[in-house]
Amino acid sequence: SLGPDVVDIRSFGKTGLFTYDPGFLATASCESKITFIDGDLGQLYYRGYPIEQLAEHSDFLEACYLLLNGELPNAKEKADFDYMVMRHNMLHDQILSFYKGFRRDAHPMAVMVGVVGALSAFYHDSLDINDPHHREVSAFRLIAKVPTIAAQAYRYNKGLPFSYPKGGLSYAENFLHMMFSTPVTEYKVNPVLAKALDRIFILHADHEQNASTSTVRLAGSSGANPFACIAAGIACLWGPSHGGANEAVLKMLAEIGDESKIGEFIQGVKDKRFKLMGFGHRVYKNMDPRAEIMRRTCHEVLTELGLQDDPKFKLAMKLEEIALNDPYFVERKLYPNVDFYSGIVLSAIGIPVSMFTPIFALSRTVGWISHWTEMIADPTMKIGRPRQLYTGSPRRDYVPLDERK
Ligand code: ACO
């Protein structure tokens, strides 16, 4: 039932065999009904729905409902869900005081790891992981509060007063409002930019067993509470090989400078001095479908802002074209991933680079909590406990300190 290429390792446990698979190149760690990636064809589905259709017709909260519950909501379910998320989006004043312990120049991801983890010290009424209602409330709290937590991390860094979510705005609009409104100037939401941000949220919402989602599952498998598990996911996402890539793409484009330097840069990549950030993926050996959508979104946003000739975008397109026709990348099946263009869109919207990965984290929170919920609700769940191939010293006897050389 697992398919012709899949061996169910559970049968091996009885014979004492185990596999050695560093980086989990060929090992499924769980069963899941949430997201399917066809890496060879470059396709991505949430609960069976193609990502292209969701990015075009849905909105982020609807995608959240779908990921969490398995089905698209009807009109009433959608309204109730939106209301529940809105109801939970404030931060208690005491939570706001957590921020004061951080240096002003702390990276917002560091602040998010701390504040999200600390929610477990605050919400004792949703920590019983065996109670489905507690799990649901934790999910609402996380999806609702993570944008507020991220926006306040930015404001704290800037020395701006904390801002509050506002009724009547969509999830993406509220995030922009919380980031940029000041006591004297209300942020005027541009619908094209808000739609682009909402699409970025949808595209990053889930991606099956990536490093951060696997981290959340592994942490959760010990019975740890959901806030602590999501904090672990945020910590994992921070790395430049994962969620930090969109930030790294912009730094790379700035370092290349202009089209005349692309050849030299590509040679450096081939010499293994650095990587082409925003390219390559463990599962996609074809175009990442999210990258196509992101490139189109990038066009829309830059056109709306009258920035069609944006040098970063032109440089990125040229770099993509050259890489896609270069045997080094072709042979290794390296294609642009979602982060190749998302940084350009975010910076055009006015989001500072330090907030790129926090935006990925707030989008992915729904994926993490959906996987955590799926795992906890499964009565056959086992604690995650990888094995190792020991390559250390053989047995030897203890030498007293005064006899050691
Ligand atoms: N630039 C140059 N060469 C690359 C790149 C890249 N971006 N990615 C992989 N390669 C090369 C490797 O050097 C290796 O070459 P070799 O066979 O000569 O040794 C070959 O392609 C295979 O690469 P692996 O490292 O084995 O691929 P892996 O699946 O382990 O890594 C990863 C995937 C981490 C995403 C990698 O492609 C990478 O570092 N990309 C850049 C960072 C990035 O964009 N990350 C975002 C990922 S998507 C996300 O998190 C949303």
The Cα–Cα gap between 304 and 192 comes to 7
The answer to whether the CB of 280 is under 6 A from ligand 1 is: yes
C-alpha of residue 24 to centroid of ligand 1, in Å: 15
Position 14 scores a pLDDT of 60
Which of 209, 236, 279 should be mutated for ligand 1, with most atoms under 8 A from CB? 279
The token duo for 316 is: 């990125």
- With a 6 A CB cut-off, is 301 part of the ligand 1 pocket? no
Strands 43-46 and 49-50: antiparallel
pTM here is 0.92
The conformation of residue 22, written as its DSSP 8-state character, comes to G
Find the 123 Cα to ligand 1 centroid distance in Å: 39
Report the separation in Å between the CA atom of 203 and the middle of ligand 1, taken as the mean of its atom positions: 20
Pocket test for ligand 1, best of 281, 324, 326 (most atoms within 8 A of CB): 281
Strands 35-38 vs 49-50: parallel, antiparallel or unpaired: unpaired
Angle (CA) 152 62 117, round 5°: 35
pLDDT for position 245: 85
Confidence at residue 241, expressed as pLDDT on a 0 to 100 scale: 84
- Tell me, in angstroms, the distance from the centre of ligand 1 to residue 366's CA: 26
88 is catalytic: no
The angle at the Cα of 213, spanning 13 to 66, to the nearest 5 degrees, equals 110
- What is the radius of gyration, based on Cα positions, of the chain? 23
Local structure of 13: helix, strand or coil: helix
Q: Is 269 in the pocket of ligand 1 (CB under 6 A)?
A: yes
265 CA to centre of ligand 1 in angstroms? 16
Protein residue with its CA nearest to atom 3 in ligand 1: 275
Cα 114 to Cα 153: distance, rounded to the nearest angstrom = 11
How far apart are the C-alpha atoms of 329 and 326, rounded to whole Å? 6
Q: Cα(209) to centroid of ligand 1, in Å?
A: 17
Q: What's residue 6's pLDDT?
A: 75
The answer to whether the CB of 213 falls within 8 A of the CB of 367 is yes
Is residue 281 annotated as part of the catalytic site, yes or no? yes
Residues with Cβ within 8 Å of residue 335, at least 6 apart in sequence: 42, 279, 280, 281, 284, 285, 286, 287, 288, 291, 324, 329
Which of 334, 339, 368 should be mutated for ligand 1, with most atoms under 8 A from CB? Answer: 334
pLDDT at residue 3 in the model = 63
How many angstroms separate the alpha carbon of residue 353 from the centre of ligand 1?
Answer: 22
294 close to ligand 1 (CB < 6 Angstrom) = no
Angle at 216 between CA 215 and CA 220, to 5 degrees: 115
278 lines ligand 1 (CB under 6 A): yes
Name residue, tokens 């944006």.
310
What type of residue is 56? E
Query: Which residue out of 88, 177, 207, 281 is catalytically annotated?
Result: 281
Are 49 and 55 within 8 A, CB to CB?
A: no
Query: What token pair was written down for 283?
Result: 């599962």
* 117 to 230, 286, 373: CA distances (angstroms): 7, 36, 17
- Alpha-carbon span 283 to 207, nearest angstrom: 10
Q: How many helices (H) and strands (E) does the chain have?
A: 17, 3
| Kind plus residue range of the DSSP H or E element containing 38 | strand 35-38
Do the beta carbons of residue 362 and residue 146 sit within 8 Å? yes
Please state the atom number of ligand 1 nearest to the C-alpha of residue 339: 51
Which residues are registered as beta bridge partners of 279? 336
Per-residue model confidence (pLDDT) at position 372: 98
Active-site option among 242, 299, 310, 326: 242
Phi, psi of 324 (to 5 degrees): -70, -15
285 Cβ inside 6 Å of ligand 1: no
Kind and range of the H or E run holding 36? strand 35-38
Active-site residue, 242 included: yes
Q: Which parts of the chain sit beneath pLDDT 50?
A: none
Distance CA 51, CA 120 (A): 33
Q: Which two tokens stand for residue 397?
A: 């006897």
CA of residue 219 relative to chain centroid, distance: 17
281 lines ligand 1 (CB under 6 A): yes
- Confidence at residue 381, expressed as pLDDT on a 0 to 100 scale: 93
Question: Which atom number of ligand 1 is nearest to the Cα of residue 288?
Answer: 48
3-class DSSP assignment, residue 111 = helix
